[in-house]
Amino acid sequence: MAINKLVSSIVATAVLACSASVSAATLKLSHNHDRNHPVHEAMQFMAKRAKELSGGSLKVRIYPDATLGTQRESTELLQIGALDMVKSNASELESFESTYSAFNMPYLFRDRDHFYQVTMGEIGEKILASSEDKGFIGLTYYDAGSRNFYAAKPIQSPADLKGMKVRVQPSPTAVSMVQHMGASPTPLAYGELYTALDQGVVDSAENNITSFVTSRHGEVAKQFSFSEHAMIPDVLVISKISWDKLSADEQKALKQAALESSMEMKDLWAEAEDKNRKYAEEKMGVTFMSIDKTPFVKSVEPMYVELKKNNAELSAIVEEIRKAGA
């Protein structure tokens, strides 16, 4: 496990404090976005509500900008109790608990209402609980919009992706999706992506509008195609070690605060997408294209066949999601 000096110091501090009650201290929450990102605002709301609902015994200190390590490093620290909470996403968590890979299947959700019906319902809760034996528990999901391709040239069909190197998250499902679409997937740390696009290390990437703008990718990739190939939620998780140190009332308060913050995020995200699209068009000169998604959908249909053949249990969860509310 690659841990830098800063992260190592976090481990050392956590070991010294391991005998102390979490509720008597501050829960450390790590994430990789800047302070202007809507998910940071949502988690600030969550921290405030957790303190109110617990009568002051729950305090959450948020560390943005990956100051406590990358998402992967932070999740590894979470497993051993060296960090209390992490905001990750289903793609990253797939490497720790395979059940999360259900959310990474392309064209899984029909629309945003379907997304919320699943993530805020019984299916979503079942997936959040699935990682308990891996050392962490999911508290709630945050809307991260739809993921779309962007590059220096227009991408209007899978044929346009042929021969292109596309940056993907370190997710086997994401790698498979891009391969089925005819491109070469290139897993790469998000913090390295701007330079990789600028220098031609990768030709394209895929993400939501807000991340595209806040990471300034619109400066080096002027064509944004609404492929809407995935709606992968961000996930707020807590270390099982930290969770077990909380009283039952504190657990209830933290869970309620997390759920309320997810609803707060719903509005924050919609506002952020509108604002960032306008900024990208007017200030960055980005062209946004609505495209026919049918060829993209057809290109990844074999992934569902392969999943049913190779992992019947996970396939059943995926089909349960697809049928929800239909």
- Structure confidence by residue, pLDDT tens digits, 131-141: 999 999 999 99
Residue 13 has pLDDT above 70, yes or no: no
- Cβ partners under 8 Å of residue 172, min gap 6: 94, 101
pLDDT at 189: 84
Quick one: average pLDDT of 175-185? 97
Q: What is the spatial distance between Cα 253 and Cα 255, in angstroms, rounded to a whole number?
A: 6
Claim: this prediction has a pTM higher than 0.85 = yes
Q: What is the spatial distance between Cα 211 and Cα 280, in angstroms, rounded to a whole number?
A: 11
Helix (H, G, I), strand (E, B) or coil at 173: helix
The candidate with the shortest Cα–Cα distance to 154, out of 63, 223, 75, 100, is 223
pLDDT at 21: 43
Query: By the 8 A CB rule, do 204 and 134 touch?
Result: no
Rg (CA), the chain: 20
Quick one: average pLDDT of 209-223? 95
Confidence of residue 325 (pLDDT cuts 50, 70, 90): confident
Quick one: average pLDDT of 45-57? 97
Quick one: average pLDDT of 83-104? 95
* pLDDT tens digit sequence for 256-295: 999 999 999 999 999 999 999 999 999 999 999 999 999 9
Quick one: average pLDDT of 127-150? 97
Residue 230 pairs with which residues in a beta bridge?
147
Q: What is the DSSP string of 82-141?
A: SSSEEEEEHHHHTTT-GGGGGGGSTT--SSHHHHHHHHTSHHHHHHHHTTGGGTEEEEEE
Helix (H, G, I), strand (E, B) or coil at 171: coil
Position 316: which residue type? A
| Other CB atoms within 10 A of residue 279 CB | 15
Name the CATH superfamily, with its identifier, for domain 147-231+274-323.
Bacterial extracellular solute-binding protein, family 7 (3.40.190.170)
DSSP letter at 284 equals I
Quick one: average pLDDT of 154-167? 97
Residue 23 has pLDDT above 50, yes or no: no
Task: Quote the mean pLDDT of the chain.
Answer: 92
Q: What is the CATH number of domain 5-142+233-271?
A: 3.40.190.170
pLDDT at 326: 73
Quick one: average pLDDT of 171-197? 94
Pairing of strands 287-290, 223-230: parallel
Query: By the 8 A CB rule, do 22 and 79 touch?
Result: no
Q: What is the spatial distance between Cα 68 and Cα 124, in angstroms, rounded to a whole number?
A: 28
Residue 10 has pLDDT above 80, yes or no: no
3-state SS of 210-262? HHHHHCCHHHCCCEEEEEEEECCCEEEEEEHHHHHHCCHHHHHHHHHHHHHHH
pLDDT at 25: 64
Residue 90 has pLDDT above 70, yes or no: yes
Instruction: Delimit the domains of the chain by residue range.
Output: 5-142+233-271, 147-231+274-323
Q: What is the spatial distance between Cα 313 and Cα 267, in angstroms, rounded to a whole number?
A: 34
* pLDDT tens digit sequence for 188-203: 888 899 999 999 999 9
- What are the backbone dihedrals phi and psi of residue 36, each rounded to the nearest 5 degrees, phi first? -90, -5
DSSP letter at 181 equals T
Quick one: average pLDDT of 146-162? 97
5-142+233-271 and 147-231+274-323 in the same fold: yes
Query: By the 8 A CB rule, do 115 and 143 touch?
Result: yes
The candidate with the shortest Cα–Cα distance to 85, out of 25, 8, 3, is 25
Exposed, middle or buried: residue 204 (CB in 10 Å: 0-12, 13-18, 19+)? Answer: buried
Position 197: which residue type? L
CA 135, distance to chain mean position in Å, is: 18
